[in-house]
Structure 1
Amino acid sequence: MTSAPDRLLRRLEWQVIRRLDGQLLGSYRTVFRGSGIDFADLREYTHEDDVRHIDWNVTARLDEPYVRQYTEDRELTAWLVLDLSASMRFGTSGGKDGLLTELAVCLARLFTQGGNRIGAVLYDNGLQRVVPPRTGRNHVLRLAHEISRAASAVGDKPGAATDVDGMLRLAASQARRRSLVFVISDFISGDAVNWESSLTRLTHRHEVVAIRVVDPMELDLPDLGLVLVEDAETGEQVLVDTSDPLFQQRLREQVDGREAAVAAAMRRARVTPHLVTTDQDPLLALVDMVRWSKRRRS
């Protein structure tokens, strides 16, 4: 009998990966920057670019900032930085953790099909596991098993708010060579956004893609009457009246404030987050990422 990770990989290979093979990898391969690479082209500077890649001779000649583009001359190394905290177990349609698993397995299989290596950092406050970069389908199966095992080991025990800052620092310590880093998380870290500096340091060395997994109910809680709400991170329970206009107003203000703070931190770190909701098809989410990357680099 095949295992659950094996069944998941087979389903994703049939439904998603065959339709995306070569598209996502090609989008990043043509613009990947690092040491030991070949010059490919020039393009106009955008506010998201690293100023270190500005070609000052061309900029002076054309009186407009231009950056140099390069083509990687070796196989890519990619990392999956996966948030397995309690808040990721919230959600409808399989939950945020289910969507994280599908996205992670899809990305791993896409990148290993071309002989590229991919590793993973599995993170929760009480569990940190690193899977070194390897290639091949068997390695993707191992990653799927490790994600499932790590999620089970974390269990449903509440604890402190997720240490997103610690997760990013651990990723930076493991990805020593310049790599393509996918951070998949809800980026919920208590009341404060304290991970901006760590994300900025990560982007100084690596190409970082932030995939923010969110459930629609986190953005817009419907009128459900009296409900018992539990904080997945701390275990605190509160009985609230979701039909109360004052409660809805306060909740909306808190959500808007959190979203604005996360967006501002991402912008200052020069990372564009890709928002993926639990009711969204993973295929469509990855296609949108490919299209965005191609538009940005064209």
Structure 2
Amino acid sequence: MPGGARQGAGTVTGDILYRLRGPAAGPGPGAHRSREIGGIGVFRDQVPFWRHPDARRIDLRATLRDPFEGTVVRRFEERRALEVWALVDLSASMRFRGTGVTWDLVTELCIALARSATRIGDAFGLIGCGAGPDLMLPASRRRGTADVVADRLAAIRPRGTSADGLLTAASSLAGRRKLVMVVSDFRLPEALIGALFARLQGHDVVPVAIEDGALDEGLPAFGLIELEDLEGGGRRRVMMRPSLRTRWLAREAERRESFRRLALRHGRPPYRLADRFDGDDFSRHLLWTAA
């Protein structure tokens, strides 16, 4: 499932391989397993003719071996397409710069998803939200979708004071089951995250937690550091010391574990995207958690 993509700076992202948890129910033929039975596709099973009366699929050998002298028919599992969506947090914290650049990671991920999906006949759509939905790209199978995603995201500067618009976006994704990537730093109220996952119930949801090593491994054991609340809380200086660093890291670990448990109650465990994007690593996560 190729997924390389162009970015404004010329960076090429890695491939992304994915599959849906459970059968796909897209409107047309594609690359994913489904419950649809047809004349072409992957062999599924053999059944009596009365259960699947298709004379073109009669299995002569199985029919001759049938001790009850019945007619046996082969059934095939049709492959279907699906829609892949990215719900992106546009609150101001998503422009954090530390070991990496948060928005660059988001952009690289979305471009790779768009390229990977459209290359195999799936549709890719994107909704970006701060306090309300601020960016909407309808799901499309066009090969140029990745370039459109790159251009639109390059023009975005996250500045929202909240990510409440994700709830509205989640409600708009009704209908057939979709693969939905929720892309955020998830430094949001737990009640909001729980409500978001609840509204996406029925879809295959993959939380992608954008993080930065500067907020944990990069913290000094001792020294003066300056902190800024990107969502309007101002700046403050903090004298970091070993005991404070230990408490900081413990609270971060507790927050991550609480978020992981919340995500698991609604489907897949979260994927931690920190400092740099690795398409192979993300693919392994998507394939492993789909099993």
TM beyond 0.5:
yes
Is the Cα contact below 8 Å between 2:99 and 2:214 reproduced in 1? no
Q: Tell me which of 23, 28, 43 is aligned to 1:32.
A: 23
Name the residue aligned to 1:266. Answer: 263
Is the Cα contact below 8 Å between 1:81 and 1:182 reproduced in 2? yes
Is the Cα contact below 8 Å between 2:114 and 2:124 reproduced in 1? yes
Summarize the Cα distance change of 1:268–1:125 in structure 2 as closer, same or farther, 3 Å threshold: same
Name the residue aligned to 2:181. Answer: 182
SS of equivalent to 1:285:
helix
Summarize the Cα distance change of 1:144–1:281 in structure 2 as closer, same or farther, 3 Å threshold: closer
Q: Tell me which of 211, 229, 233 is aligned to 1:214.
A: 211
Cα distance in 2 for partners of 1:88, 1:133 equals 23
Summarize the Cα distance change of 1:146–1:257 in structure 2 as closer, same or farther, 3 Å threshold: same
Cα distance in 2 for partners of 1:126, 1:239 equals 32
Q: Does 1:167 align with 2:158?
A: no
Q: Does 1:255 align with 2:277?
A: no
Name the residue aligned to 1:77. Answer: 83
Q: Tell me which of 232, 235, 239 is aligned to 1:234.
A: 232
| Stretches of structure 1 lacking an aligned partner (at least 5 in a row) | 42-70
Superposed CA RMSD in Å reads: 3.1
| Stretches of structure 2 lacking an aligned partner (at least 5 in a row) | 28-33, 37-41, 45-76
Cα distance in 2 for partners of 1:84, 1:225 equals 32
Is the Cα contact below 8 Å between 2:132 and 2:165 reproduced in 1? no
Q: Tell me which of 102, 109, 115 is aligned to 2:108.
A: 102
User: Following TM superposition, by how much is the alpha carbon of 1:10 offset from its aligned partner in structure 2, in angstroms?
Assistant: 6.1
Is the Cα contact below 8 Å between 1:210 and 1:271 reproduced in 2? yes
Summarize the Cα distance change of 1:286–1:259 in structure 2 as closer, same or farther, 3 Å threshold: closer
Q: TM-score, normalised by structure 1?
A: 0.70
What do the CA deviations read for 1:218-244 (whole angstroms, capped 9, x no partner)? 2342336112211122332111012x2
Is the Cα contact below 8 Å between 1:79 and 1:175 reproduced in 2? no
Name the residue aligned to 1:113. Answer: 119
User: What is the letter of the counterpart of residue 239 of structure 2?
Assistant: D
SS of equivalent to 2:97:
coil
Q: As a proportion of its length, which structure holds more helix?
A: 1
Q: Does 1:285 align with 2:281?
A: yes
Cα distance in 1 for partners of 2:261, 2:269 equals 10
The percentage of counterpart residues that share the same residue type is: 26
Equivalence map 1:48-87=2 (5 Å)? 73-87=79-93
Cα distance in 2 for partners of 1:104, 1:6 equals 11
User: Following TM superposition, by how much is the alpha carbon of 1:120 offset from its aligned partner in structure 2, in angstroms?
Assistant: 0.5
Q: As a proportion of its length, which structure holds more strand?
A: 2
Is the Cα contact below 8 Å between 2:167 and 2:195 reproduced in 1? no
User: Following TM superposition, by how much is the alpha carbon of 1:215 offset from its aligned partner in structure 2, in angstroms?
Assistant: 0.5
Is the Cα contact below 8 Å between 2:198 and 2:266 reproduced in 1? yes
Cα distance in 2 for partners of 1:178, 1:196 equals 19
Name the residue aligned to 1:197. Answer: 195
User: Following TM superposition, by how much is the alpha carbon of 1:148 offset from its aligned partner in structure 2, in angstroms?
Assistant: 1.6
Q: Tell me which of 129, 132, 135 is aligned to 1:129.
A: 135
User: What is the letter of the counterpart of residue 231 of structure 1?
Assistant: D
User: Following TM superposition, by how much is the alpha carbon of 1:100 offset from its aligned partner in structure 2, in angstroms?
Assistant: 1.0
User: What is the letter of the counterpart of residue 123 of structure 1?
Assistant: C
Structure number with greater Rg is 2
Is the Cα contact below 8 Å between 1:32 and 1:207 reproduced in 2? no
Cα distance in 1 for partners of 2:286, 2:187 equals 25
Summarize the Cα distance change of 1:11–1:194 in structure 2 as closer, same or farther, 3 Å threshold: closer
Q: TM-score, normalised by structure 2?
A: 0.72
Cα distance in 1 for partners of 2:242, 2:119 equals 52
Name the residue aligned to 1:50. Answer: none
Cα distance in 2 for partners of 1:216, 1:72 equals 44
User: What is the letter of the counterpart of residue 166 of structure 2?
Assistant: M
Is the Cα contact below 8 Å between 1:186 and 1:212 reproduced in 2? yes
User: What is the letter of the counterpart of residue 228 of structure 1?
Assistant: E
SS of equivalent to 2:155:
helix
